[in-house]
Amino acid sequence: MSKIVIEKAELISKRNLGNGIYVLTFAPFSKLKKIRPGQFVHLQVPHGSIYFRRAFSVYDTSHEIKSFDVLLKNIGQGTRLIASMKKGEMISVLGPLGNGFKDPGRNETVYLIAGGVGMPPIYYLAKYLIGKGYSPKKILFFYGGKIRADLVELSKIRKLGVRLILSTEDGSIGQHGLVTQAVEEEISRVSGQKIFYSCGPVGLLAAVEQLAVKYNIPGQLSLEAPMPCGIGICLGCILPLKKGGYTRVCREGPVYNIGEVVI
């Protein structure tokens, strides 16, 4: 984990993507270069009496303007208040927090599997890998949701040059069905070593883990959990480990090896 800071950042941009989903850009942030894909920031909720911060995976960064993006869905009072911020307002940022994804091997085909608003750390991982010289042709980006409105920023993802494979449960865009069905179809079509990276609802992560076990494919999962403190003190985000004992998602996670945590 990188050395963390608490500092103020300004909301310099806000984009409404519809369906209650927003992209917020904050700057400046002094630890930008220390952020790894899969890590998160803890944002203080403004304009209210909510004490605990809210955790958001880092979606994107710009070193030119020292900014970072978060993508959020308005699903409660905390996210509603953050989403209602106006350009120029300040927010307290704690981060970068948690442990990020490990790099794949150079010969591995990378399967990136995102569900709904679990897309941000998966996008940032794809951008990071390409920046390190990984070929976009060896990166398969699977993105699934219940309906068309769940899948956002598609043009941004396509600009990476990766192969983007979409799925919706109602068939409104992409393949009709669960995203893991599309993943399984591609496993037999791609030869050589493979590795999974995934973030999304618990059901998706459990299904990805089942596929990994079935086909003996290694990988990592980014987990979600309530994170009142974000630094491992309050124990509000503990989950059981398969080997016994417990882990703090905010501190030892949120990224874990497949098969490490009971999900």
> Residue 220's closest CA among 59, 99, 42?
99
Say whether the peptide bond before residue 201 is cis (omega within 30 degrees of 0).
no
**Start and end residues for every CATH 2.40.30.10 domain found in the chain:** 5-97
pLDDT of residue 1: 55
What pLDDT band is residue 237 in, cutting at 50, 70 and 90? very high
What's the pLDDT score for residue 74?
93
Q: How confident is the model at residue 48 (pLDDT cuts 50, 70, 90)?
A: confident
d(CA 181, CA 113): 11
Q: What is the DSSP letter of 78?
A: H
Please report the pLDDT score of residue 2 as a whole number. Answer: 59
What H or E segment, with its residue span, contains residue 126?
Answer: helix 119-131
DSSP for 195-220, written as a single string: EEEEES-HHHHHHHHHHHHHHT--EE
Cβ atoms within 10 A of the Cβ of 235, count?
12
- Looking at residue 3, its pLDDT comes to 82
Other Cβ atoms closer than 10 A to 91? 18
Q: Does domain 5-97 have CATH number 2.40.30.10?
A: yes
Kindly indicate the confidence band of residue 188, based on its pLDDT and cuts at 50, 70 and 90.
confident
Backbone angles phi, psi at 137, to 5 degrees: -70, -20
Q: Where in the chain is the domain with CATH 3.40.50.80?
A: 109-257
Dist. CA 165–CA 143, nearest whole Å: 6
Report the chain's mean pLDDT, rounded to a whole number.
Answer: 96
Query: With contact defined as beta carbons under 8 Å apart, do 97 and 41 qualify?
Result: yes
- Mean pLDDT, range 150-166, rounded to an integer: 98
- Measured between alpha carbons, how far is 214 from 219 in angstroms, rounded to an integer? 13
Is-contact 99 1, C-beta < 8 A?
Answer: yes
Share of the chain above pLDDT 70, in %: 99
Of the ranges 44-53, 79-88, 199-208, which one carries the lowest mean pLDDT score?
A: 44-53
Q: In the predicted model, is pLDDT for residue 162 greater than 60?
A: yes
Q: Report percent pLDDT > 90 for the chain.
A: 94
Tell me: pLDDT of 47 over 90: no
Which two structure tokens, joined as six digits, stand for 220? 């990592």
Closest C-alpha to 11, from 37, 47, 39, 38: 47
109-257 CATH fold: Rossmann fold (3.40.50)
Q: Look at residue 108 in the predicted model and tell me its pLDDT.
A: 97
